[in-house]
């Protein structure tokens, strides 16, 4: 039960922060969801960092990992919103922006995970 509560609390904080960031960043560019893009990249960086720390040894407990990686990062990043926004771009005929958003999200997301792992190795 304690572990489920940790995931719940972390997810709540992550979701709230995602909402705030998306609310303020998405309106900046009409055909590119900067807020969703940003939270997904930051979430990739953070989860790479956290998982790498946990693999280094006793730097993060199982409960801390549940709170931060499963809970916070799970609530903070959002594939469903990402997919909905891509659908909206396709429906409106924005093939260029759809392609750019998709490619950048995947490529930079993977790079952010690698950077997070590298940063954790510096500690």
pLDDT in tens, 81-102: 888 899 989 999 999 999 999 9
For the question of whether the overall pTM of this predicted structure is more than 0.75, the answer is: yes
How large a percentage of the chain has pLDDT more than 90? Answer: 78
- Condensed to tens digits (0 to 9), the pLDDT of residues 6-59 reads 999 999 999 999 999 999 999 988 888 999 999 999 999 999 999 888 888 778
Indicate whether 103 pLDDT > 90. Answer: yes
Average pLDDT, the chain: 93
DSSP string, the chain: -HHHHHHHHHHHHHHHHHHHHHHHHGGGSTTS-HHHHHHHHHHHHHHHHHHHHHHTSTTS-HHHHIIIIIIIIHHHS-HHHHHHHHHHHHHTT-HHHHHHHHHHHHHHHHHHHHHHHHHHHH-
Provide the residue ranges of all domains of the chain, joining segments of one domain with +. Answer: 80-123
């Amino acid at each position: 039960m304690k572990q489920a509560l940790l995931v719940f609390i972390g997810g709540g904080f992550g979701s709230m922060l995602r909402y705030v960031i998306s609310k303020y960043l998405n309106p900046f560019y009409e055909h590119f969801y900067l807020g969703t893009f940003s939270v997904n990249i930051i979430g990739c960086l953070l989860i790479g960092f956290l998982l790498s720390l946990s693999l280094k040894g006793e730097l993060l407990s199982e409960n801390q990992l549940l709170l931060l990686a499963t809970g916070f990062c799970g609530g903070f990043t959002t594939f469903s919103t990402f997919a909905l926004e891509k659908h909206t771009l396709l429906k409106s005929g924005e093939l260029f922006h759809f392609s750019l958003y998709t490619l950048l999200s995947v490529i930079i997301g993977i790079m952010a995970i690698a950077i997070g792992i590298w940063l954790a190795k510096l500690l």
